[in-house]
């Protein structure tokens, strides 16, 4: 397949803000893509080289690309740099350059998608001495004899700047329409995606096989399952009323969720956003290696503990450990413990269709008697009334946890779903919103005074899963320490896009810059109010009004463990708003 075809589709996508158009362009692309490379095309659209859990980073700096571009075009590096400083994106720079194709030869073949993908994979696998020059040579080889349009998207892919605004849901819609002529089949694709986390593979099975084959995809070891998520309740009364079966309460531990896969000596750990983090927790890996139990997928919360009194430490301590480069030092400074709360697979059996009570029994049988400083089962208790919940909550807070998870004993494990089968309940403050919310950064205004050269205020949004859209909710400018400001500035600057992202409903706000929705911040606020400006919950409470956080403040936590689709939802914000009046 010619890379030009892909570049032309990318160009059309970049020019539209309409989700319908995006889907239509994708459907057309799927139709002309050969089935044996459809997985590669899907990964490239996602700006990756494989599924999240095994995709390698390209690790390419702008400097390297400028050097390659200079070699390929004959234009000096300093001239390219000048244009880059002016325009801010090397893909757009190359598009505007009067591209010198003198390097092309009579015999050069047109660039194919296969060659692009394979060369990018080689770049990602290149490391060690001499790798810099080799990478430059690979990039230069791709840039020889291509049109401005191909060069533009090659560079955007290489630098990870391809920001087309295409979410997995849009891709799944396009696959369902393109291959089955029925958008309704997206549900089947979504189910398969939730257990296999690999849209490229699903697309290939669909293109070469059938929707029935996709339907039969099930859980397998070393491929992470998308985690089941929890709804949020304002108080124990509301939570209890939502649970249909018996209510099993557990401590809600303020750490990082990990999914552990083990067969023989192979052990792998994944985060809730499916990143492989096996190398971060060698002591947990060692503990599982020494364990007799084998062939399983379990889930739990890793938490840092105070080595003196063994109490749980808050999430920030774990993040500090994650940032340390010397793992040995990090292990000593921040010892961790894994608290298991679920089992999804054991000895060749998919356990996700068993009810929670049975899964917990299997967890207890296999892991309940293990004497290890590194492993525990999450504290659990059956509760049947509000007093029991409130007492257990007090116990949980006392041991350093952030609240309770209430689980329906009769519920199955629904990968990727946020339902009332699991309910989170955090510490309550009468008359205020119950706890912090996690929001994604959508845009920013430049700072003034002490904050010149940084961002002064960040525009934040909540998420609607149904519409796969981000809605604005506030601007935040307080709670930022100087070092956090710098870190955020550097992180966010890499996510700048030319115009508002197609998945954002922003209403009428002016921003100096817009971002690809990716950075998640934890925000505290005493109150939610009606707002004529922000779009979260617009027209749902009062015509013409949305909801806004009043006096929002950054808590200091950048939620690196959460993807934008994991943040607080519009529905949760509406519930929080309504709950303010129940107190």
**CA-CA-CA-CA torsion sign (483, 488, 494, 497):** negative
Residue 206 CB, shortest distance to ligand AMP, in Å, is 30
Pairwise CA distance, residues 401 & 393, whole Å: 9
Sequence-ordered list of residues with C-beta below 8 angstroms from that of 308, at least 6 positions apart, any chain:
none
Residue 49 CB, shortest distance to ligand AMP, in Å, is 27
Residue 248 CB, shortest distance to ligand AMP, in Å, is 10
Residue nearer to ligand AMP on the CB measure, 211 or 277: 277
Pairwise CA distance, residues 360 & 405, whole Å: 14
115 is in an annotated binding site: no
Residue nearer to ligand AMP on the CB measure, 360 or 538: 360
Residue nearer to ligand AMP on the CB measure, 219 or 405: 405
Residue 429 CB, shortest distance to ligand AMP, in Å, is 16
322 is in an annotated binding site: no
Residue 338 CB, shortest distance to ligand AMP, in Å, is 11
Residue 264 CB, shortest distance to ligand AMP, in Å, is 27
424 is in an annotated binding site: yes
Neighbours of 496 (CB within 10 A): 16
Residue whose C-beta lies closest to ligand AMP: 257
Residue nearer to ligand AMP on the CB measure, 193 or 251: 251
250 is in an annotated binding site: yes
Write the DSSP string, 260-320: EEEETTEEEEE-TT--B-GGG-HHHHHHHHT-S--SEEEEEEEEEB-TTT-PBPPHHHHHH
341 is in an annotated binding site: yes
Pairwise CA distance, residues 323 & 518, whole Å: 19
Residues that bind ligand AMP (CB under 6 A): 227, 230, 250-253, 257, 272, 301, 341, 378, 405, 424
Residue nearer to ligand AMP on the CB measure, 445 or 523: 523
Pairwise CA distance, residues 343 & 262, whole Å: 12
Residue nearer to ligand AMP on the CB measure, 175 or 378: 378
Candidates 516, 322, 548; CA nearest to 433 is 548
Is 252 part of the annotated catalytic residue set?
Answer: yes
240: its two tokens: 């209890």
550 is in an annotated binding site: no
Candidates 203, 206, 200; CA nearest to 49 is 200
| b/e per residue 99-108 (b: at least 16 CB within 10 A) | beeeeeeeee
Q: Which of 135, 252, 407, 426 is catalytic?
A: 252
357 is in an annotated binding site: no
The length of the chain in residues reads 583
Identify the residue whose tokens are 């849009």.
Answer: 170
Q: Which residues are annotated as a binding site for ATP?
A: 250, 257, 272, 301, 341, 418, 424
Which residues belong to the active site?
252
């Amino acid at each position: 397949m010619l890379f030009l075809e892909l570049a032309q589709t990318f160009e059309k996508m970049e020019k539209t803000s309409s989700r319908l158009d995006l889907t239509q362009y994708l459907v057309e692309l799927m139709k002309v893509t050969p089935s044996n490379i459809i997985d590669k095309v899907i990964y490239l659209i996602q700006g990756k080289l494989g599924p999240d859990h095994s995709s390698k980073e390209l690790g390419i700096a702008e400097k390297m690309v400028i050097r390659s571009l200079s070699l390929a075009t004959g234009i000096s590096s300093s001239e390219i740099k000048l244009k880059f400083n002016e325009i801010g994106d090397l893909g757009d720079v190359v598009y505007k350059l009067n591209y010198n194709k003198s390097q092309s030869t009579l015999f050069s073949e047109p660039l194919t998608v296969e060659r692009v993908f394979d060369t990018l994979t080689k770049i990602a696998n290149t490391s060690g001495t001499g790798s810099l020059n080799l990478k430059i040579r690979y990039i230069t080889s791709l840039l020889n004899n291509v049109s401005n349009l191909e060069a533009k998207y090659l560079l955007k892919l290489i630098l990870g700047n391809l920001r087309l605004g295409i979410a997995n849901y849009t891709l799944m819609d396009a696959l369902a329409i393109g291959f089955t002529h029925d958008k309704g089949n997206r549900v089947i694709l979504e189910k398969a995606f939730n257990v296999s986390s690999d849209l490229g593979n699903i697309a290939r099975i669909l293109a070469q096989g059938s929707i029935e084959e996709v339907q039969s995809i099930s859980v397998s070891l070393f491929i992470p399952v998308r985690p089941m998520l929890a709804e949020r309740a304002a108080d124990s009364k509301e939570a209890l009323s939502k649970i249909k079966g018996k209510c099993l309460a557990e401590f809600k531990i303020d750490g990082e969720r990990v999914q552990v896969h083990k067969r023989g000596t192979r052990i792998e750990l994944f985060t809730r956003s499916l990143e492989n983090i096996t190398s971060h927790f060698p002591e947990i890996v060692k503990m599982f290696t020494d364990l007799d139990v084998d062939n399983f997928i379990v889930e739990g919360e890793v938490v840092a503990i105070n080595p003196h009194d063994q109490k749980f430490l808050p999430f920030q301590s774990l993040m500090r450990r994650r940032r340390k480069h010397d793992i040995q030092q990090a292990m000593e400074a921040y010892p961790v413990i894994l608290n298991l709360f679920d089992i999804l697979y054991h000895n060749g059996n998919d356990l996700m269709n068993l009810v929670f009570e049975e899964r917990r029994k299997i967890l207890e049988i296999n892991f309940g008697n293990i004497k290890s400083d590194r492993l525990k089962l999450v504290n659990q208790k059956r509760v049947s009334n509000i007093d029991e919940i409130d007492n257990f909550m007090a116990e949980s807070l006392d041991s350093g946890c952030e609240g309770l998870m209430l689980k329906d004993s009769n519920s199955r494990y629904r990968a990727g779903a946020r339902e009332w089968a699991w309910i989170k309940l955090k510490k309550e403050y009468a008359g205020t919103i119950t706890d912090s919310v996690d929001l994604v950064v959508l845009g920013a205004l430049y700072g003034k005074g002490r904050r010149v050269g940084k961002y002064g205020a960040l525009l934040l949004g909540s998420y609607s899963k149904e519409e796969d859209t981000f809605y604005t909710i506030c601007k935040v400018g307080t709670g930022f320490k100087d070092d956090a400001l710098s870190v955020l500035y550097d992180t966010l600057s890499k996510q700048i896009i030319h115009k508002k992202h197609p998945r954002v409903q922003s209403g009428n706000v002016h921003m100096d810059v817009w971002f690809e929705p990716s950075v998640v911040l934890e925000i505290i606020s005493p109150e939610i109010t009606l707002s004529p400006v922000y779009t979260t919950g617009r027209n749902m409470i009062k015509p013409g009004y949305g909801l806004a956080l009043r006096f929002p403040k950054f808590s200091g936590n950048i939620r690196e463990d959460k993807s934008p689709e994991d943040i607080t939802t519009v529905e949760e914000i509406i519930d929080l708003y309504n709950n303010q009046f129940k107190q």
